[in-house]
Copies of this chain bind each other. A is one copy, B any other.
């Protein structure tokens, strides 16, 4: 389809392009745009009706948005801005360079400009930065009929009409009302009688992760945001929460891999920025791994007399690291999803001890058989390696499970305590045990 559209544009068969696009929705049209050259995309963009243009615009990549804003007239910019949902506009402004922001602000109404500045000042990842102001507000003394009429009049411009907000004096939030409830109630009942006063609301500065957890727990599709005086500041809708959940998960994946979180998509991120986000942890872990090296150096004499001991170091270290990563991942994930709480620490340790003894026993037996029968190495070395392996696995699993809980207790993100750090600790202890046992069994 893209190739067809491109050739239609080239041969100036614009009417055919228009017909083709007519059958697509905003997301699909935005997909087409990503494949077009900048010069082509402006041509197609100008074919779109005013409201569709704004909708398509909000789905484009920042790059495409920037190009279009820089090409179209101020009047056209004004049209898009008028049609955009407020939260989409804020998101777009946040991604634009300052000269473009100026151009956008010049095309908004004066009263809106103040609001935009206020929204741009909410902390990143806060309720304020997620919310939109396009909601339906009702009064408690309205009748159902009046409320429905109000929705009919104003609803088209609202991001959601499925939950309505009942406001008192000073826009204080007094209740919420689902459209479902509204529509099944008879016309003459007043809003005050049917609104829910037992609603959940968040504050403008609340963190997005906690908000996402509320949506999950209560199966919400929208949530009111209030300010310090309980006035309704805006609402958050489920589509933005789905993005938050992905974002929070990406952050955890990155932290657990020793990367400082970055929100930039992979291909759009600069090499230097990526290097910077990866460097710190690699350096910290590289330097801490030298402690492990020191232990080996300390036992240099043991190693020199039984050099084959060195051959088992990678296996012991890797298995310890992997065993620790398994339990830390399970616990970090459990904490993130709310399945586990810090008060479960004792239960977690007990469980990991049991699991690790089962796994360590099985692996130790396999390892012992392999060394004795396949490698045909002195049985005393085999025993040294096997006992070390057992202790390493149990230790790794318990440390891997405890560290994230401890992190949560002292208010550090559990994900930061993940496998890399655990690996270093487990490596060091495993080697000390290894050489100590070697000294006992081999008498070196």
**In the complex, chain B residues whose CB is within 8 Å of the CB of A283:** 362-363, 366
Cβ contact within 8 Å between A246 and B318 = no
> In the complex, which of the residues B161, B274, B344 contacts A183, with contact meaning CB atoms closer than 8 Å?
B161
> In the complex, which of the residues B183, B313, B363 contacts A282, with contact meaning CB atoms closer than 8 Å?
B363
Q: CB of A333 within 8 A of chain B? A: yes
Copies in the complex: 2
Chain A, 197-238, contact with B by CB distance < 8 Å: what is the 0/1 string? 010000000000000000111110100000000000000001
- Among the 9-residue stretches A4-12, A66-74, A121-129, A418-426, the one with 4 or more Cβ atoms under 8 Å from chain B is A418-426
Q: CB of A113 within 8 A of chain B? A: no
Query: Is chain A's interface secondary structure helix, strand, loop, or mixed overall?
Result: helix
> In the complex, which of the residues B161, B216, B296, B423 contacts A246, with contact meaning CB atoms closer than 8 Å?
B216
- Docked complex Cα distance between A278 and B274 (Å): 32
**In the complex, chain B residues whose CB is within 8 Å of the CB of A184:** 151-152, 155-156
> In the complex, which of the residues B245, B275, B286 contacts A318, with contact meaning CB atoms closer than 8 Å?
B286
Q: CB of A372 within 8 A of chain B? A: no
The residue on B at minimum CB distance from A353 is B271
**In the complex, chain B residues whose CB is within 8 Å of the CB of A287:** 366, 370
Of the A-B pairs whose beta carbons lie under 8 Å apart in the complex, a sample of 19, sorted by A's number, is: A23-B198, A238-B238, A242-B245, A254-B330, A258-B322, A258-B325, A266-B334, A267-B348, A279-B362, A281-B322, A282-B323, A282-B363, A285-B322, A286-B315, A293-B312, A304-B304, A313-B314, A314-B317, A321-B321
Q: Which A-B residue pairs are the 7 nearest by beta carbons?
A: A257-B329, A292-B314, A275-B358, A219-B239, A289-B315, A293-B311, A289-B318
Query: Using a CB–CB distance below 8 Å, which chain A residues touch chain B?
Result: 23-25, 27, 148, 151-152, 155-156, 161-162, 179-180, 183-184, 198, 215-219, 221, 238-239, 241-243, 245-246, 249-250, 252-254, 256-259, 265-267, 271-272, 274-275, 278-279, 281-283, 285-287, 289-290, 292-294, 296-297, 300, 303-304, 307-308, 310-315, 317-319, 321-323, 325-326, 328-334, 337, 339-340, 344, 347-348, 351, 354-355, 358-359, 362-363, 366-367, 370, 393, 419-420, 423-424, 427, 431
